[in-house]
Amino acid sequence: MKTTLTLLLITLFAFSFNAIEHKELTSDKPGIVAITMHADWCGTCQALNPKLEKVKADLKDKRVLFTRFDFTDESTIKQSELMANWIGLGDLFKERKEEGKTGFVILINADTFEVLERITNNKDEDGIRNAIEAYL
């Protein structure tokens, strides 16, 4: 239930994000999107999540949208795929699904959808924060 509610909220935000895509850039629009490749059963994800939560809090006033593609089970995979297709990241989702790996974050330019960097669990909180801020 918690995962479904989270995905619903992400989808609603994605709709808002998509709706303003062609409007003039404002400070309310993200500069980058940080997508976590997540699965509940992934040990690396469990180690990465506390670091990300701290970084999210530190960057709450920055133009970064934190979201995730959830590969936990068939239901979360389908929901993530629908969201990815809807916001224009279907190809990226498909590549990651085929790769079959989780426990990392992909930084994406919100305007061009260009992949900027892949952040792994090897970075500490400062490393993750610095990597994100380098693109803002």
By the 8 A CB rule, do 80 and 71 touch? yes
Q: Domain for residue 42, yes or no?
A: yes
Q: Domain for residue 123, yes or no?
A: yes
Q: What pLDDT digit, counting tens, does each position of 63-93 carry?
A: 999 999 999 999 999 999 999 999 889 998 9
Q: Domain for residue 90, yes or no?
A: yes
The ranges of the chain with pLDDT < 50 are: 5-9, 19-23, 25
Q: Domain for residue 77, yes or no?
A: yes
pLDDT of residue 37: 95
Here the CATH number for the domain that contains residue 63 is 3.40.30.10
Q: Domain for residue 94, yes or no?
A: yes
pLDDT of residue 28: 80
Q: Domain for residue 112, yes or no?
A: yes
Structural domain total, the chain: 1
Considering only CA atoms, which of 135, 55, 77, 69 is closest in space to residue 103?
69
Give DSSP secondary structure letters for the chain.
Answer: -HHHHHHHHHHHHHHHHHHTTTSPP-TTS-SEEEEEEE-TT-HHHHHHHHHHHHHHHHTTTSSEEEEEEE-SSHHHHHHHHHHHHHTT-HHHHHHHHHHT--SEEEEEETTT--EEEEEETTS-HHHHHHHHHTT-
- Residue 104 domain boundaries: 30-133
Q: Domain for residue 11, yes or no?
A: no
